[in-house]
Structure 1
Amino acid sequence: MKSDPEKQREVGAVVHAMRILQHLAGVPGPQGVAAIARATGISPSTCFSILRTMARGRFVSFSETDKTYSLGLAVSELAIGMIGSSYLDLIRPEIERLALNHGMLIALWRITEDGHIVVLDRAYGEHVVRVDMRVGSRLPALIGAVGRCVAAHLRLPSAELRRRFTTLRWQNPPSFEDFEAEVAEAGRKGWTKDVGNLYRGITTIASVVTDHNGHPRFGISGIAIQGQHTPEQIDRLGEALRDVAGYIGRSLFPHGGKG
């Protein structure tokens, strides 16, 4: 008796990965390895290996807090591609609006798995004299205003936060005590600022986009020459960045993401 030639061409790991993604798409919330393995009929060890691999590619998102998995950003990117768009197409009108309304450079950053932030896009305000950030610019994930917001969502123990802080290079370094207090403030307010620490003479205001597990995925920052904006204007931009980051998070991560 001959085997079905279509079956012979199937790759087991790919079939399992598709089954896992289909399962996660149909459940109301994140699940652990054991629950996913039971539901899909895949052995726990195989299931764990596939989930770890897909997490590295961001097809699934892993929560360190409760050790659960859910669909990741890469799945959203594939789905958006099917309708002729990308998340950058969806986000760009928001950063352009912020730039025009608040009169400064607005940068969109991707938070990478290897502990960095990378400029994906930017939009300009109407000031004749302005700063710029090159697309592709790369910085450590915990530095500057975006970094303070990232640190707030990672909820690192004070000793670990201090260890990472000592590796950062600033033009005008803050004290660790000030940095830690500003990280805590970012957690409370949903945004924060860097006034001349990362770069002398430059003010940066930022918030971050989080997924439905509260994990930071993107940063949005306003960047201006120091003194170009009043404290009230800075506060208004910070609140606007927080609101836009929340909106983007709910749009890209629709399982009740936090902003």
Structure 2
Amino acid sequence: MADATEKHKDVGAVVHALRILQHLADAPGPLGVAAVARETGISPSTCFSILRTMARARFVSFHETDKTYTLGLAVAELATGLIGTSYLDLIRPEIERLALNHNMLIALWRVTEDGHIVVIDRAYGEHVVRVDMRVGSRLPFLIGAVGRCVAAHLDLPPAELRRRFTTLRWQNPPSYEQYEAEVAEAGKRGWTKDVGYLYRGITTVASAVVDQAGTPRFGISGIAIQGQQTPEQIDRLGEELRDVARYLSRALFPQRQPALSAIAS
């Protein structure tokens, strides 16, 4: 008969993964594979395989520029309310990855209570020629690509949406009918774009991060000089922005689980 220690032997790969996560949590900054392997006592090849697996599952974030790792968003999804990391710290690896993969400026916007969107972070692709949005830049929250996504989630009555539309200032204004149709489209597919309307010669693609009530809290947008990306590249970015925004919504604002008594009843 097997003894108790043999019967309940720990799984080595799981032990290694937990040790790596704990080490990354205690580290003062991002770490490379060699440093993680050395400091955890795990072989470099095993450490690399585990880190890559956890990166695909978003338990760690891989930083392409310096080949280092930090804790990822899935950790927050498991332990929301127990961690002290700010939303900005958690979202930044995602916008950096998007910027590098799509070679454009990726901006993170906060939706404010006074009806604006404000740039709170941004990351750049590798193009020499690029547009920029200063951190702190502020716009009405229904304008541009982010604004269409915000409007889709607010689901305003048509008369109120039209009233607010008349107060917006665009360099190349769309008609209200076009704007309304694009808001509806943003609601259906989870992302939308602005091609030269908010700013002439600038294409913006965006999606919105929402809380448990469906209220938009953040916007994520890709911003590029018009014509730098093909329509197919813009659509691929839009779909990835939608997927990232949905993931962030689940991770940062998880739905509350029903009480056991409610399930039983």
Aligned to 1:143: 143
RMSD: 1.8
CA shift at 1:249, angstroms?
A: 0.7
Give the Cα separation in 2 of the matches to 1:177 and 1:254. 35
Give the Cα separation in 2 of the matches to 1:170 and 1:94. 29
CA shift at 1:85, angstroms?
A: 2.1
Aligned to 2:46: none
Aligned to 2:194: 194
Q: Deviations over 1:164-222 (max 9, x none)?
A: 00000000000000000000000001000000000000000000000111110000000
TM-score, normalization by structure 1: 0.67
Residue segments in structure 2 that go unaligned for 5+ positions in a row: 1-75, 258-265
TM-score, normalization by structure 2: 0.66
Between Structure 1 and Structure 2, how many residues are aligned? 180
Give the Cα separation in 2 of the matches to 1:138 and 1:177. 25
CA shift at 1:82, angstroms?
A: 6.9
What does 1:81-230 align with in structure 2 at a 5 Å threshold?
Answer: 83-230=83-230
* Greater Rg by CA: 2
Aligned to 2:241: 241
Give the Cα separation in 1 of the matches to 2:249 and 2:84. 20
Residue segments in structure 1 that go unaligned for 5+ positions in a row: 1-75
CA 1:206–1:222: 2 relative to 1, 3 Å: same
Matching residue's letter, 2:107: A
Give the Cα separation in 1 of the matches to 2:82 and 2:188. 37
Matching residue's letter, 1:170: W
Give the Cα separation in 2 of the matches to 1:124 and 1:81. 31
1:207/1:242 contact within 8 Å kept: yes
What is the percentage of aligned positions where both structures have the same residue?
83
Q: Deviations over 1:5-54 (max 9, x none)?
A: xxxxxxxxxxxxxxxxxxxxxxxxxxxxxxxxxxxxxxxxxxxxxxxxxx
CA shift at 1:86, angstroms?
A: 1.1
2:209/2:216 contact within 8 Å kept: yes
CA 1:153–1:95: 2 relative to 1, 3 Å: same
Matching residue's letter, 1:247: Y
CA 1:80–1:121: 2 relative to 1, 3 Å: farther
SS in 1 for 2:235: helix
CA shift at 1:157, angstroms?
A: 1.0
